[in-house]
Amino acid sequence: MLENIITLALLILLQAVLGFDNLLYISLESKRAPKEKQKSVRTIGIGIAIGLRIALLFLLINVIKYFQDPVFNIPWTDVIEGSFNIHSLIVLGGGAFIIYTAIKEIWHMMSIEEEAHEKAKPASINKIITMIVIMNIVFSFDSILSAMALTDVFWVMATAIVVSGILMIWLSGTVSTFLQKNKMYEVLGLFVLFVVGIMLLTEGAELAHIKLFEEPIEKMSKTTFYFVISILVIVDIVQGRYKKKLMNLEQKKNNS
């Protein structure tokens, strides 16, 4: 029992670390809903996703081999090669969709006029909840497979999923509030989301054993991911302070 409790604590910590990118996506996606419904959208979306994660866990325990069996191959030697299974296709699809979402939102922020942005209609609540649930499942593969590597006790893994889901509901509100109060960091968040998409694409490519011009694609490690995010945050902070300094110098110049 003590071993199970220690494993449970480790799994909750692991879920929290691996769930950062998912948390960011949920916070950004929920902002498309009317302000008064954003909290309920996050709660419902994550709540449904928790149930589906537990179902996915049960499914993977019993049919994990079918997710790893090749579905089709690309045998174009010296150009592109790969052996795709269900797991790799899900991860590749999730990565591609996240990159598309990030680019679309960045383009929207740069091109749309302020007046049109203010009058833009909120997205469908059901659509937002559906996207949160789907992407939560995509992000859950890593954490579930990692949990299965640590223990084979179902209740320990299921409890870790539920606890991490509750933490995600609580933290998603904090992250969303921060982004609403600090609009400039929303741009940073979208670029972080873009990097998340790249990370998922590389992971899916490694799972599919994709080779481009005889060079295998290796997945971006979590260490590399957090290093890149740290650099983005530092650059954003330095740029913000430099811009503020220039504005103060310009103001002093105008006053004199």
Question: Over the stretch 70-86, which tens digit does the pLDDT of each residue have?
Answer: 888 888 877 888 888 88
Give 69 or 14, the one with higher predicted confidence.
Answer: 69
* Residue 248 covered by a domain: no
Output the pTM of the full model.
0.64
Instruction: Answer yes or no: is 91 within a domain.
Output: yes
In a domain, 44, yes or no: yes
Task: Say whether pLDDT at 188 is over 50.
Answer: yes
How many domains does the chain fold into?
Answer: 1
In this predicted structure, the answer to whether residue 112 has a pLDDT above a threshold of 60 is: no
pLDDT at 235: 84
Q: Which residues are 83's β-sheet partners?
A: 73
Residue 249 lies in a domain: no
What average pLDDT does the chain have? 78
Flag whether 142 is in a domain.
yes
- Phi, psi angles (nearest 5°) of residue 170: -65, -45
Beta-carbon contacts of 72 under 8 Å, excluding residues fewer than 6 positions away, are: 84
CA angle 178, 100, 122 (to 5 degrees): 55
pLDDT digits (tens, 9 = 90+) for 33-52: 887 788 888 888 888 888 88
pLDDT at 115: 44
What residue numbers bound the domain in which 201 lies? 2-220
The structure tokens listed for 13 are: 């910590």
Residue 63 lies in a domain: yes
Let me know: does 22 contact 144? Beta carbons within 8 Å: no
Helix (H) or strand (E) segment spanning residue 76: strand 70-76
